[in-house]
């Protein structure tokens, strides 16, 4: 056998392994219904299969007609939030409009290259390959690979590989969206049935001519409570739906963490006083970069829960510190209560939608969405969230958030 035929056989073997890997990745994508996890898998697969430095997904916003970064392994969430790629005057826009792949072997010679991304993240793009993400008959976005390793050029095999991956990825994204939507609607309807049933029963009682006058006031109070519960449910449903779909855009700016903590304590002071709960906050002060309104929502959720599930005359301790174990270093905020604690089994589900600890469900009228919303907000800031709890001792919730530069 000649040297040439040996090389050819090796190429066929490599190509076979390559397509087996694409099939394996496609199966993994179709088994994932978590939207953000799915996007991370797609970007990781694109980087691996095309042997490039970075990859990104830009999805078309049907409401505005703009391309927005949904996932990238050379951009952090804050940078992605700030970047909008125009359909006109950009390579990605051309790919969406024409529904065809583009290979740019030297972007410095390409007038259609959108320089805004490189300028924002201080990343130098040398060459790129972009392909349309087509779900059925419509293009939903662009999958892009940037900077082939070792200064190589993107090949026809790379174009075919990324096109195949993009087609599988687009269908997986649409399936995940439909799954989340149908799953969420089913859960929402189930949760709405309880207050609606209570309102229906109350109105039936009010219509009875033999209803004692003293009972009328009680029934009206019940109706007011259930109406408020419906308003909370629908508000939180909308918040969570926007966060899960990526439609919520963070308004990022530096802010003083200690001032925000004091502001939140003042909001819940009356609620804490009624139960005899004392709230302590340390004096450590940090400047964060984030969406102040969303972080306030997180803090108020933690504090109201810490009061509701606390003992009479209990306490709550709020501490902040620089967590240098994380890379990059983050600010860790902790909220500890002296309540009844949560069992190890129930701790596993605390951040799931509609989960309420069984032994407290009858004692408080929560929606079961607060911690799920909180988790989405923290992760959108590229932070982490976790809890520690011991039955009979209390619970501590921790979050990490990025400091201002």
**CA 196 to the chain's CA centroid:** 30
List pLDDT tens digits, range 89-103: 788 889 999 999 999
pLDDT of residue 364: 46
Q: Does 161 share its domain with 25?
A: yes
Q: Does 172 share its domain with 262?
A: no
State the pLDDT confidence band at 122, using cuts at 50, 70 and 90. low
Burial of 156 (0-12, 13-18, 19+ CB in 10 A): exposed
Q: Is residue 244 part of a domain?
A: no
Q: Is residue 139 part of a domain?
A: yes
pLDDT of residue 112: 61
Q: Does 137 share its domain with 264?
A: no
CATH number for the domain that contains residue 173? 3.30.450.40
pTM of this structure: 0.53
CB 384 within 8 A of CB 298: no
Question: Could you tell me which residue, 54 or 238, shows the higher pLDDT?
Answer: 54
DSSP codes joined into one string, 87-131 = STTSHHHHHHHHT--EEES-GGG-TT--THHHHHHT-----EEEE
Pairing of strands 52-61, 66-72: antiparallel
Q: Does 269 share its domain with 154?
A: no
CA distances from 137 to 19, 99, 182 (A): 24, 10, 22
Percent of the chain with pLDDT over 90: 31
Q: Cα(229)–Cα(248) distance, rounded to whole angstroms? A: 23
Please tell me the total count of domains within the chain: 2
pLDDT of residue 81: 66
pLDDT of residue 4: 41
Q: Does 260 share its domain with 397?
A: yes
Helix (H) or strand (E) holding 395: strand 394-401
Q: Does 152 share its domain with 266?
A: no
CATH number for the domain that contains residue 351? 3.30.565.10
Q: Does 274 share its domain with 164?
A: no
- DSSP for residue 153: P
List pLDDT tens digits, range 333-351: 999 999 988 888 788 888 8
Q: Which are the contacts of 149, defined by CB distance < 8 A and separation ≥ 6? A: 51, 52, 53
Q: Is residue 122 part of a domain?
A: yes
Q: Is residue 225 part of a domain?
A: no
The average confidence (pLDDT) of the chain is: 82
Q: Is residue 221 part of a domain?
A: no
Q: Domain boundary residue among 158, 177, 196?
A: 177
Query: Rounded mean pLDDT of 188-201?
Result: 76
Q: Which two tokens stand for residue 94?
A: 């051309």
Question: Could you tell me which residue, 252 or 22, shows the higher pLDDT?
Answer: 252
Q: Does 170 share its domain with 257?
A: no
Beta-bridge partners for 72: 56
Q: Is residue 237 part of a domain?
A: no
The residue whose two tokens read 């701790």 is 347
Of 187-191, 332-336, 399-403, which range is least confident?
187-191
Query: Rounded mean pLDDT of 227-232?
Result: 80
List pLDDT tens digits, range 28-74: 776 666 777 788 888 998 999 999 999 999 988 766 778 888 888 87
pLDDT of residue 5: 39
Q: Does 150 share its domain with 32?
A: yes
Q: Does 159 share its domain with 74?
A: yes
The domain containing residue 315 runs over which residues?
A: 252-405
Q: Which are the contacts of 125, defined by CB distance < 8 A and separation ≥ 6? A: 107, 113, 117, 118, 146, 147
**CA 82 to the chain's CA centroid:** 16
Q: Is residue 190 part of a domain?
A: no
Q: Is residue 75 part of a domain?
A: yes
Question: Could you give phi then psi for residue 204, rounded to 5 degrees?
Answer: -60, -45
């Amino acid at each position: 056998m000649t040297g040439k035929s040996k090389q050819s056989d090796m190429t066929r073997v490599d190509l076979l392994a390559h397509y087996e890997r694409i099939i394996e990745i496609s199966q993994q994508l179709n088994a994932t219904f978590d939207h953000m996890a799915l996007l991370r898998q797609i970007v990781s697969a694109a980087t691996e299969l095309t042997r490039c430095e970075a990859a990104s997904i830009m999805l078309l916003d049907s409401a505005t007609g703009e391309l927005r970064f949904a996932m990238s392994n050379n951009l952090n969430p804050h940078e992605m939030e700030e970047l909008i790629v125009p359909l006109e005057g950009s390579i990605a826009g051309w790919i969406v409009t024409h529904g065809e792949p583009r290979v740019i072997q030297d972007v410095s010679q390409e007038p259609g290259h959108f320089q805004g991304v490189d300028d924002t993240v201080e990343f130098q793009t040398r060459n790129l390959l972009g392909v349309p993400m087509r779900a059925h008959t419509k293009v939903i976005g662009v999958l892009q690979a940037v900077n082939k390793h070792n200064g190589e050029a993107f090949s026809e095999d790379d174009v075919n590989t990324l096109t195949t991956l993009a087609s599988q990825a687009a269908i997986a994204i649409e399936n995940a969206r439909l799954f989340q939507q149908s799953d969420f609607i089913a859960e929402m309807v189930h949760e709405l049935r309880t207050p609606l049933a209570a309102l229906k029963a109350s109105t039936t009682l009010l219509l009875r001519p033999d209803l004692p006058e003293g009972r009328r006031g009680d029934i009206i109070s019940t109706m007011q409570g259930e109406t408020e519960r419906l308003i909370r449910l629908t508000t939180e449903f909308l918040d969570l739906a926007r966060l899960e779909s990526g439609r919520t855009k963070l308004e990022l700016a530096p802010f003083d963490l200690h001032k925000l903590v004091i502001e939140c304590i003042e909001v819940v002071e009356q609620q804490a006083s009624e139960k005899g709960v004392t709230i302590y906050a340390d004096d450590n002060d940090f400047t964060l970069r984030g969406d102040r309104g969303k972080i306030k929502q997180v803090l108020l959720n933690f504090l109201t829960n810490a009061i509701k599930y606390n003992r009479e005359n209990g306490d709550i301790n709020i501490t902040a510190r620089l967590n240098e174990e994380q890379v990059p270093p983050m600010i860790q905020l902790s909220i500890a209560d002296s309540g009844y604690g949560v069992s190890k089994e129930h701790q596993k589900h605390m951040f799931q939608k509609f989960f309420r600890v069984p032994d407290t469900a009858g004692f408080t009228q929560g929606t079961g969405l607060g911690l799920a919303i909180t988790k989405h907000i923290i992760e959108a800031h590229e932070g982490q969230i976790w809890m520690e709890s011991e039955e009979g001792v209390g619970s501590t919730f921790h979050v990490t958030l990025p400091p201002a530069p």
